[in-house]
């Protein structure tokens, strides 16, 4: 089983796959509505100079999330790529 980390810790340019989204509250449901679901591929495009927020690409669109939101998304590397 590949190691997992959270989406806020993935370096720029890396591609990962969503394992799960932590929590069962409104924020977790909103992340699900935005397409962050198990098995979805996500690429880290760019990060603000102070490290927050970060822009991700998934499902062919770009999504900007704060660390507090992306830290709830557990991910794993895509086919051996470092996360």
Element (H, E) at 45: strand 41-47
pLDDT tens digits, one per residue of 13-59: 999 999 999 999 999 999 999 999 999 999 999 999 998 999 999 99
Q: What is the pTM of this model?
A: 0.87
Torsion of CA 65, 70, 71, 72, to 10 degrees: 120
């Amino acid at each position: 089983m590949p190691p997992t980390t959270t989406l806020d810790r993935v370096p720029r340019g890396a591609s990962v796959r969503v394992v799960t989204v932590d929590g069962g509250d409104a924020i977790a449901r909103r992340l699900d509505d935005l397409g962050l679901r198990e098995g979805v591929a996500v690429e880290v495009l760019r990060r603000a100079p102070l490290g927050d927020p970060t822009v991700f690409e998934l499902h062919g669109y770009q999504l900007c999330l704060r660390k507090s939101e992306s830290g709830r998304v557990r991910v794993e590397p895509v086919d051996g790529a470092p996360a």
